[in-house]
């Protein structure tokens, strides 16, 4: 990737305190991007931002700790970001939770998953897409799951949220690409993160978070006329 093209660019990443989001934050920062980090765990966000900012003479990482499903938090954060940091060139919706089960989950667990995995992404899209439209460019990457492509036993509640996210992502693909804003949904199977610990698959047989970072780098390196609607990635044990 040509870092001279990305030095002034800004990425906003939700779910940035751990797993895929953290890996993307670190990798994009290495590539010269400024990063806005969103997650609920303020302690982990502060530690990550401190580490990233120590690698540069200029501040290049900002944190906003809160729940992506909290519309007031998202609205206030977006106002601050747009006024004082800038319009994101890249929005990565990575925040997600997983309550394992289908009808065995409680109503509260199902509603929490919908609130974070679907409404959380919707909140950030509502907050930042108008600014992207105004600047005439941008990239939205929704971190979904292969569970948004194929339903399987034991995870129906999570599957529901990812099917919904993929539907939202595909609709925005058709709406925003003609306006110069790319939209891609990344749908991996088991990724070696805390969320996948219950799978029983050894970590070294799962997709590595660095593979998701490489996928994002690949997408960002494509020309303006190449717009993948989705990228589906499977690990060998899941085939």
Query: Residue 112's CB: how many other CB atoms inside 10 A?
Result: 17
Q: Nearest Cα to 168, choosing from 208, 207, 118?
A: 118
Give me the count of residues in the chain.
Answer: 239
R_g over Cα of the chain: 17
Residues 6+ apart with CB under 8 A from 122: 168
- C-beta separation of 116 from 95 below 8 A: yes
Residues paired with 66 in a beta bridge? none
- What is the DSSP code string of 13-46? EESTTSHHHHHHHHHHHHTT-EEEEEES-HHHHH
- C-beta separation of 168 from 122 below 8 A: yes
Which of 139, 158, 198, 218 is catalytic? The answer is: 158
**Is 158 noted as a catalytic residue in this protein?**
yes
Order the strands of the 138-143 sheet from edge to edge: 61-65, 34-39, 10-14, 90-93, 138-143, 181-188, 230-233
- C-beta separation of 14 from 74 below 8 A: no
DSSP annotation of 116 reads I
Residues paired with 220 in a beta bridge? none
Q: Catalytic amino acids?
A: 158
């Amino acid at each position: 990737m040509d870092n001279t093209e990305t030095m002034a660019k800004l990425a906003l990443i939700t779910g940035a305190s751990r797993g895929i989001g953290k890996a993307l934050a670190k990798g994009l920062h290495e590539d010269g991007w400024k990063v806005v980090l969103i997650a609920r765990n303020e302690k982990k966000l502060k530690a990550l931002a401190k580490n990233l900012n120590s690698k540069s003479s200029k501040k290049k990482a900002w944190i906003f700790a809160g729940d992506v499903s909290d519309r007031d938090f998202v609205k206030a954060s977006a106002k601050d970001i747009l006024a004082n940091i800038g319009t994101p060139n890249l929005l990565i919706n990575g925040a997600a939770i997983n309550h394992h089960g289908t009808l065995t989950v409680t109503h509260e667990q199902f509603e929490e998953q919908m609130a974070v995995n679907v409404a959380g992404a919707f909140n950030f899209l509502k907050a930042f897409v108008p600014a992207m439209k105004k600047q005439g460019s941008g990239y939205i990457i929704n971190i979904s799951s292969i569970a948004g492509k194929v339903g399987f036993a034991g995870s129906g509640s999570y599957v529901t949220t990812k099917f919904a996210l993929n539907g939202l992502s595909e609709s925005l693909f058709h709406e925003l690409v003609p306006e110069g804003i790319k939209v891609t949904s990344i749908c991996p199977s088991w990724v070696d993160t805390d969320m996948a610990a219950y799978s029983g698959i050894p970590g070294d047989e799962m997709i590595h978070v660095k593979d998701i970072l490489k996928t994002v780098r690949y997408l960002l390196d494509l020309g303006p006329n190449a717009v993948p609607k989705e990228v589906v990635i499977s690990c060998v044990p899941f085939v």
